[in-house]
A = this chain, B = another copy of it.
Amino acid sequence: MTKKPVATAKGLPRRYFKEVRFRQIRALVELSRHRSFAATAAAMGLAVPSVWQQVRALEDEFGVPLVIASGSQLELTEDGALLVEIASPLVEGFESLKAVFADRQRHSPRTLRIVAPSSMLHGALRKPVAAFRRKYPEVRLTIIDLPSYAARELLEGGGADIGVIGIACDDPPMPQHHLWLLARYPFHLISPVDHSLAQAKRLSLIEIVKSPLVLASDTSSSHRQIRQVFEKAGLAHRMNVTTTATNRALLLDYVAIRLGVTICTSAADTRLPRPGPGECELTQRDVSTLFGHEEVFIVQRKGRHELPHVRAFREAVAAAFKK
């Protein structure tokens, strides 16, 4: 029975054996230092036959004797000495590879690109960012201010290392990324105190859609979620979004000058601003039974390894939200 050769994708037999191997070269170089298989093996933490075999394999490969044992003392042949001369810089370079890399890495600049909507940056992220800046002053920090959905697209394209974004319930999944839930904010309806929606006993989507709306940017998660809710109710075509703004303070300004009502989220401790000149007083009602909650995630590309400074930032953010 002949041994059947294993075919590769290309129909060729495997051929990873006939080849000069680095370990063999390393063994020879060590041998040239210690001048004995026993000493070399000890120095390399190997058994004698292993070293022996590696060196003999080299001789087979190059077709010339490299060492000869005359009595107890071992000598390199001319060819052996030549090979050592050529190869020893390579061995040294390779041995020190990890150290050199670590050294160069220490001195090469680290970067961190954070993306988040401005509300996050002004709010919950302000402290973690500042703390990170203090702890890693050498890291080049890039902060990108984008509404959630735009931020998501940036992350997916590799344009940022980490993001803190809201994700609407029916947005598609992000299979390439890790998501950690940070917070759930209920949606609130904010309107002038004298608005009919502020007075109504019970709110319904039908009632709300009749009013002109002031919403966040259409690339924000809250805008998307609200639209999705109206779509499911078959009311999307009746939405009258008069204004969009990227900023909660602006939204409230527009409501105060009666451009419409807004549906947005607020952290529990957030107070409504006092009315300025020419503005009306505002009130908010919880509409989470209709619109659910906005869910905020830390988002980061999946991968085997997380750089230490990225991890530090991620944990700082998580801790800030946990309080």
Binding site for B on A (CB under 8 A): 8-10, 12, 15, 20-22, 25, 45, 47, 56, 59-65, 68, 70, 75, 78-79, 82-83, 86-87, 89-90, 93-94, 97-98, 100-101, 104-105, 108, 111, 157-158, 301, 303-305, 307
On whether the beta carbons of A97 and B90 are closer than 8 Å, the reply is yes
Known contacts A59-B305, A65-B305, A304-B59: A47-B9 contact under CB 8 Å? yes
On whether the beta carbons of B68 and A301 are closer than 8 Å, the reply is yes
How far apart are A311's CB and chain B's nearest CB, in angstroms? 12
Q: Could you say which of B68, B111, B304 contacts A56, with CB atoms under 8 Å apart?
A: B304
On whether the beta carbons of B108 and A68 are closer than 8 Å, the reply is no
On whether the beta carbons of A68 and B303 are closer than 8 Å, the reply is yes
> What are 22 A-to-B residue pairs whose CB atoms are below 8 Å?
A8-B47, A9-B47, A22-B22, A25-B94, A25-B97, A61-B98, A62-B101, A64-B105, A64-B305, A64-B307, A65-B304, A65-B305, A68-B158, A68-B301, A70-B157, A75-B158, A78-B108, A82-B101, A82-B108, A87-B97, A90-B93, A93-B93
Q: Give Cα A87 to B304, complex, Å.
A: 22
A sample of 12 more A-B contacts (CB under 8 A), given A12-B45, A20-B98, A89-B93, is A9-B47, A20-B94, A20-B97, A60-B304, A61-B98, A62-B101, A65-B303, A65-B305, A68-B303, A82-B101, A82-B108, A93-B93
On whether the beta carbons of A62 and B98 are closer than 8 Å, the reply is yes
On whether the beta carbons of B90 and A104 are closer than 8 Å, the reply is no
Chain B residues near A22 (CB, 8 Å)? 21-22, 94
Known contacts A65-B304, A68-B303, A82-B108: A94-B101 contact under CB 8 Å? no
On whether the beta carbons of A83 and B68 are closer than 8 Å, the reply is no
A159's nearest neighbour on chain B, judged by CB, is B70
Chain B residues near A82 (CB, 8 Å)? 101, 104-105, 108
How far apart are A187's CB and chain B's nearest CB, in angstroms? 34
Chain B residues near A25 (CB, 8 Å)? 94, 97
How far apart are A73's CB and chain B's nearest CB, in angstroms? 10
Chain B residues near A12 (CB, 8 Å)? 45
Known contacts A9-B47, A22-B22: A86-B97 contact under CB 8 Å? yes
Q: Give Cα A108 to B79, complex, Å.
A: 9
Q: Could you say which of B10, B62, B157, B301 contacts A45, with CB atoms under 8 Å apart?
A: B10
Q: Give Cα A100 to B20, complex, Å.
A: 13
